[in-house]
Structure formats: C-alpha cells, structure tokens
Chain A
Amino acid sequence: MSGSAIEFRGVTKRFGSVNAVDDLSFTVRSGVVTGLLGPNGAGKTTSLRILLGLVRPTRGTATFDGRAYRDLAAPLNTVGTALEPWSFHPGRSARDHLRIAAVAAGIPVARVAEVLEVTGIESVADRRVGGYSLGMRQRLGLAFAMLGDPGVLVLDEPTNGLDPEGIRWIRSFLRELAAEGRTVLVSSHLLGEVQQTVDEVVIVARGRLVRYGTLDVLEARESVLVDAVDRQALATALAVAGFAIETAEDGIRVRGAEPSAVGAAAQRAGIALSLLGRRAEGLEDVFLALTSGEDA
C-alpha cells in the first residue's frame, strides 16, 4: 500500500483580522509518520480542517496527490480522519455511528466489526457514546478513520485523554501503518507525546511554519552552560560583554558562543567559574524556544 502525498501550498486562513494560518507550505510523504507540532492556537486544527474540505482557505491549496478532498472519488477509502473526540451523537451507539459512515461511503458494513475489534472497543460498541470516556472516544475516532482502510491518515491530537497504555498502543499502531507505506500525519501540542513516533516534523507557531524536516532539525542546537558562585555578577558581566544569555536552572545558558570566549569574558571580569561546558539542548527546550517565537 502506498498513500497519497499531502501537499500544502501557500495555505492562508484569515478569521477577521487574524491570520490563523499564514502562507503554510509543506509536503507530507508516505511511509513515515509526520508530526504537525505547535502550541495550542498555532493553527494546527484549522490547517487539518482546510485539508479535509471542512474549512475554506482564504488562499492556497491543500491536496492529496494533487486532488482536493472534496474531489476524491472515495474520500473515506483514501483518507482516514480522526479530528476531535466530540463529534459523536451522544444518543447513538459506536456501532451505529460507524455503520452510518460505512453506508455513506459505500464501505461494506462487515468492516465495522473489524475496526471495532482493531481499536479494542468491540465490547462497548452497542452502548450509547454519551457514556464513553475520552479514551474510548479517541478509539472510536480511530475506528472511524480506519473504516475505509485508507492510504492516508490524518489525526488531530489522537493521544489526548489516552492512558499510558493507550498512548503506547497508538504509537506502535501509527508506526505499523507507516511501515505499510501509508501516509500518516498526526498533530500534537506536546513534542514528548510524539517524539518517539514521528520521523518528520512540521512545526508551526502563530499560523506560520517555523521548522520542517526530519527530527534532527531540532537536535542541531548546542549551547554553552556556565555558572559561578556569584551567578548574578556573572550574568551582568556576560551581558555587558554582549553575549545572548538566558538563566537556566543549573546555570546560565549562552547561545551562539564558544566556551573559550565565555571563559575569557568571565576572567576579564574577575569572576571565578564553577562550571563551563557545552550542552546539547533537549528537544523539548528547542521546540519551546522555536514555538514561543525566540530566535533559533
């Protein structure tokens, strides 16, 4: 199985005077898991809804192998979607919810039992969804996505509300799907939740693309960590010397400088150092720095 490539080309969505999504362009290829990452309100969900034809973009196109969602001949067989765990009628059973989608898409109704089995909610399938936990709703959303055995999966925050066992399950599930050659695009506001799952990342903040590529776009950062008994004096001295500093828990972080230069500056100010060395920044730190708008 080979999934279609997802292409965003200059996608912009303006709500009033705010650009919720601003000139977003990237490609998601098949066979890997791609994470669409960014803080809440970064425009992830709006981007996905534009891709699925639910929201009309102000400008730009988002397509599957060049075709818009609404032009797909068999949408649920091409793209599987789990957008939010709330879009179920509380008075309807999971099985009926899936049957309705299967009938609308021309998928054999026998497939409903299969996806209920795969997602592990077979035993509660005839209960009304109103009584479901968030985790069960997430699984029902995944069952809906898998209904048409699609080559592309688009999942918005699928780990929200899942217990650790559920998160582990979804990770291996997504890896399996990608290994089969499918295109998997999964959004999250927590890098940690998808770090072990994703091969490529698309990082957005305030509607704009900030980083795009394999996970090592985040790992290519190092900084100098320096500390002294009189940390305040050191900070002042380094600031006066023109270094970009940032106070961290375990010292002062200096970006874009060599340890020797930092040490020399401290010596000139007559400050005895207690610590000086290179530190690779954690992915999460870099991610937070990127998405909070600091210069990378």
Chain B
Amino acid sequence: MVRAVRAEWLKFGTTRMWWVLLLVLVGYVAFTSGLLAIMFGVLGDQLAQDPTAPQIPPDALAAIVYSSVTAVGYVIPLILGTLAVTGEVRYRTLTPTFLATPSRGVALVSKVVVMFVAGAGYGAVGLAAAIGVGAPIIAATGGDLQLVEAATWTLAARAVLAMALWAAIGVGVGSLIQNQVAAVVIVLAFTQFVEPLLRFGSAFWEPAAQVGRFLPGSASDALVGASIFSSFSGGGMAVVPLNWWQGGLVLAVLAAVVAFAGYLTAWRRDVT
C-alpha cells in the first residue's frame, strides 16, 4: 500500500498536468477574488446606499473574498482527481499500473489518498492566491482584512480540507465514468450548470431547500463557512445551512460512495 501510494505520487508529479491545472486554479481564483474585492470594496459605499442592492456586513467581506478558492475553484481539484483515473484509461497505462499493483482495490485507494493530499496542496496554493490578490484590494479600499482573526484561519483550514475532498470525489467520478471526455463534460455540466440551477431553484421552496442543503456544492460551502453563493441564495428564507462538519461529512461520504461504486463496476473490468 505504501509503495502504491508513492508510485501514485510519482505519477502525479511526472506529467505536465499538475502545474497546468494549478496555474488555471490560481488564475481563476485570483481573478474571482479580485473581482469580489473590487465589487464590494470600491462599490461598497454605493451599494450601502441602495436598499435594493445585496448587502454585505463589513466583517464578512474578507471571508467571502478569501473563500472564492472553494466557491469557484473546487471544480479544479475535482477535475484533477477525475483525470488521474481517466488519463490512465485513455493512455492505456492501467496495464503497467495493475501489473505492478495487481490488487485493484489497493490501486484505487492509493489514488484517493494521493489526490486527497494533492487537492489539499491545490487548496493551500489557491487560498494564497485568493488572499494575495483580495487582501491588498480590501486594504486599499479601507475594508477589514480579518487576517489576525482566528475565524479566518479556521476558514482557511476548512477550505483546504474541502479542496482535498473534492479531489478525492474526482477519483471516484473517474473510476465510475472512465471515458475522459464524458467524465469531464459531466463534471463541468454538473458543477457549472445543473447544480447551480438546483441550488438556486430549491431556495424558493422550503422543503426543496431542506434537500438542497445536501447538494455537494452547498455542502462544500457549508464546510468552508462562507461563499459568495451562499451569501445571496435563499431568497430570504430561513433554511439553516448545514454545520461545517455536516458539510464535510456529506463530501466525504460522497467520495466514498462514488469511489466504491466505481470499484464495483468499471474499475474491476477487464483491461484489454
């Protein structure tokens, strides 16, 4: 098991995928974080005068800006984990992988472990990008950075955990849907279109909102404790979001269930 994990780690580090995706994450998060900071920092005073505009309490601004790493960036570790599996199918490297590690279960668990760690790394770097771009803008517009607050660093730690869990979920998705194009299209369609619609739609009817809390994106935002999306969703309805640990549990269970389903079906198929 230790050997298989070390081999998976080497696989992760020996192609260009890891830094390409990391660059995409940093760019995406830096852009979003900067945009949010400018929007609510520079325009904050104007917004405050318009009662119909969305309002953000001054001490919540930093959390919303910093949490852009998970609010928008979670799709990157999810794709990373998916590609870690579908890439092996696409390039036929499952053959040498299973020759060296004949136990399919060990091979899959090793991937989950390595991608969990890699996802945490992506989380840390993405967080640095969010704070690095967002904090100077907040400071320049006279906002509260909250960088000495324990709550901010709790949020940071949970964001790293969320990113790690998303990468683990990705491994499960890839083991279940082994066609690379299909897997990536499904991941993008679900995270960028289906789930946002479901979250938005469910917020208008209380029983649906109760269920909507358990959508993976909502659970992720609950785990982190802040998100630009959860700040505005809800249509003013009083549905309490999940606790942070409940959100984390939803993601962990999702990762386990999807990976186990993949193991039982596609992962154990003949490699021809």
Contact = CB atoms under 8 A, between A and B. Distances in A.
B14 A100 contact: yes
Interface stretch (B3-11, B23-31, B59-67): B3-11
A180 interface: no
Contacts of B98: 53-54
Given A92-B14, A96-B10, A49 B272 contact: yes
Interface string B72-115: 00000000000000010001111111111111000000000000
A91 B103 CA distance: 26
Contacts of A103: 3, 6-7, 10
A87 B98 CA distance: 12
A62 interface: no
Interface string A275-294: 00000000000000000000
A127 B6 CA distance: 22
Nearest to B10: A100
B15 A89 contact: yes
A54 B95 contact: yes
A264 B99 CA distance: 62
Nearest to A80: B99
B91 A88 contact: yes
Interface in B222-247: none
Contacts of A76: 99-100
A171 B103 CA distance: 33
Contacts of A92: 11, 14-15
B160 to A, nearest CB: 27
B271 A55 contact: yes
B272 A55 contact: yes
Q: How large is the interface on A (under 10, 10 to 19, 20 to 34, 35 or more residues)?
A: 20 to 34
A103 B9 CA distance: 10
B3 A104 contact: yes
B270 interface: yes
A99 B93 contact: no
Contact of B4 (A46, A83, A99, A104): A104
Contacts of B99: 52, 54, 75-76, 81, 101
Given A54-B270, A88-B93, A105 B102 contact: no
Contacts of A54: 95, 98-99, 270-272
Which of B4, B7, B96, B97 neighbours the largest number of chain A CB atoms within 10 Å of its CB? B96
Interface in B252-269: none
Nearest to A141: B96
B7 A93 contact: no
Interface string A84-115: 10111111110011011101111000000000
A72 interface: yes
Contacts of A88: 91-93, 96
Interface in B196-245: none
A56 B272 CA distance: 10
B91 A49 contact: no
Given A46-B272, A53-B98, A87-B93, A99 B10 contact: yes
A76 B99 CA distance: 7
A49 B10 CA distance: 26
Interface of B: 3-4, 6-7, 10-11, 14-17, 87, 91-103, 270-272
Interface of A: 45-46, 49, 52-56, 69-70, 72, 75-76, 81, 83-84, 86-93, 96-97, 99-101, 103-106, 144
